[in-house]
Chains A and B, each alone.
Chain A
Amino acid sequence: MEFETVIGLEVHLQLNTCTKIFCSCRNLFGDQPNTNVCPVCLGLPGSLPVLNRKVLDFGIRVGLALDCEISPLVKFDRKNYFYPDLPKGYQISQFDFPIARKGHISIKSSAGDKRIGITRAHLEEDAGKLIHNDQNRSTLVDYNRTGTPLVEIVSDPDLRTAQEAYDYLTALKLVLSYLSVSECDMEKGSLRCDANVSIRPKGDSKLGTKTELKNMNSFSAVRRAIDYEAKRQEGILLSGGEIVQQTLLWDDARAVTLPMRSKENSHDYRYFPDPDLVPFVLDPAWVIAAREALPELPTQKLSRLVEHYKLNIYDATIIIQDRELADFFEACYLIYPDAKKIANWLNGPLLKELNERKCSLHDLDLLPAVLAALIEKVETAQISNLAGKEALSLYLNKNGSLEEIIRNKGFLQVSDDQQLLTVIDEVLRDNPAAVAEIKSGKTNVTGFLVGQAMKKMQGKANPKKLNELITGRLQNE
């Protein structure tokens, strides 16, 4: 029997507001434990939550970017469960009136573009951080993260393979990264993903029993976990067993999913409206203003780069992976209007420098004017392509201005005819055999002579110019 995998993903995104969602504590990761806490986020009796307006704005922005309908009524509910990371005994979340619903996002699949539905996106608060100590059988609790604003984005069960899940996450992260609402960093926990996985005989429309996978720390771990889980479920069904609905933790080191040892009934959350938070009514004008303030999104940027700058899809696709890089491209173009040349420099040498340094563009002190000037020097053969790349590297390592580096390193190419001809004449005299071969029609030997001349010039000659001059010399003889 052939099976089909059905996957839905839940993505939690930490919002990068200055303060927490319901209190004025600093929203910052990595501070000393329990220093960004107050009576509200510690859930002390008598404290009252008040919504951070910016969180609502960010939620609307995320919803609009995912083509969702924005709910005119936003209310918050209590999701009740007992766990030490949750000091109040409930998490403030949204149950029946999420801020956004019915959106979608497109992914590239082998069969062309595929539209993945977004069921809903809702706002909620993050929980605290637990550190388990095996030695003395205790758990350390840090509540700094408690109350960090989250948007949870729930996809429809539209994904059919682990690869599609991976592609969805990549596409989603790209859109979210354009909105400047989050660091979107899975390693640092600002973007987290759980997967609901079930299988069914191919062609069936009824969904199978699903399991929920947690604890994946990268997009590729999500892909591995789903692949493993689908095979595990298939094995169970083929041997006549039944899938148990449960939460499983992905163990990346052992590459297996393992049941989470948690109390039964943990899913009986008894949602009810939070009486501490009044409802929020979104004026249509508010949503319209938010829509107008949306930045250009990746797919729009891609088509514009292709149409306006005549970039090919491949180059444009690389450039739009980073909004900063795309802005940088356009700034360079204003100074040096050769889109293809700029794209080659950004997607080649510049990305290589960024990868080697493991940093982003704004970490480098690089102005568009500097790169544009460098490209121009290479294109006008003042320096060679190779020297250009080295100059970029040295410049980023703070070895002085571009001009200084080129001068100090002797990168300037000699293009002066008189100077080059003196050397060429020497080379022609020293290599009579090669000269004879060229004259007999073996013009490819010219390259050898260019090489010899270049050697004498210690690599500082303009190779194109050398070639021209040698060819001219031999034709005139």
Chain B
Amino acid sequence: MIDNQTVQYIAGLSRLRVQDQDSSRFARDLEVILHYVRQLEELDVKDVPATSHVLNIQNVFRKDEIAPSLTQEQALSFAIEKNSGHYIVPKVIE
């Protein structure tokens, strides 16, 4: 059962801000989706391997050969804030 609390928890994991009045709508939608998927439980899928990929291709590699990277200037051109070759982010503490 998806309740408002679960919606807020999932939103938190995804760093999304969900307004309280929207929570119950999302809870209802998620519940419907889960209900639909739950139909699978009626089938015997014991011997069916989980699909991890829908394309029928495998073993796509590259050789261990160096190719040019971006320049520091290019890399940092996306940064909102930068300093001495680094991206700057708000302080995170561990």
Contact = CB atoms under 8 A, between A and B. Distances in A.
Contacts of A42: 70, 75, 78
Interface residues of B, number: 39
A273 B66 CA distance: 27
A33 B59 contact: no
B69 A35 contact: yes
A281 B59 CA distance: 6
B92 A139 contact: yes
A133 B81 CA distance: 14
A272 to B, nearest CB: 9
Interface in B56-94: 57-67, 69-72, 75-76, 78, 81, 83-94
Nearest to B12: A265
Contact of B87 (A56, A140, A260, A261): A140
A417 B85 CA distance: 74
A98 to B, nearest CB: 14
B88 A139 contact: yes
Contacts of A36: 69
Interface stretch (A24-32, A188-196, A349-357): A24-32
Nearest to B60: A278
Chain A contact surface mostly: loop
Interface stretch (A46-54, A105-113, A159-167, A204-212): A46-54
Contacts of A26: 66, 69
Contacts of A39: 70
B53 interface: yes
B33 interface: no
Given A19-B66, A34-B75, A278 B55 contact: yes
Contacts of A278: 53, 55, 57-60
Given A35-B71, A261-B94, A268-B13, A141 B88 contact: yes
Interface string A382-407: 00000000000000000000000000
Query: For the side of the interface on A, what is the size category?
Result: 35 or more
Interface in A5-43: 17-19, 24-26, 32-39, 42
A349 to B, nearest CB: 40
Given A36-B69, A137-B90, A143-B75, A51 B9 contact: no
Contacts of A277: 60
B21 interface: no
Nearest to A282: B59
A23 B58 CA distance: 18
A405 B76 CA distance: 56
B52 interface: yes
- Lowest 7 CB-CB distances: which A-B pairs, in order? A24-B67, A140-B86, A273-B52, A53-B61, A54-B64, A33-B85, A141-B87
30 contacts: A18-B64, A24-B65, A33-B84, A34-B87, A35-B72, A42-B78, A50-B61, A51-B60, A52-B62, A52-B63, A52-B64, A56-B61, A83-B92, A138-B88, A138-B90, A139-B89, A140-B86, A140-B88, A141-B87, A141-B89, A142-B86, A142-B87, A260-B94, A262-B94, A265-B12, A273-B53, A278-B53, A278-B59, A279-B52, A281-B59
Given A19-B64, A273-B53, A279-B53, 17 more contacts: A25-B69, A33-B85, A34-B72, A34-B85, A34-B87, A42-B78, A52-B63, A132-B92, A140-B83, A141-B86, A142-B86, A142-B87, A260-B94, A275-B54, A278-B53, A280-B58, A281-B58
Interface of B: 9, 12-13, 15, 52-55, 57-67, 69-72, 75-76, 78, 81, 83-94
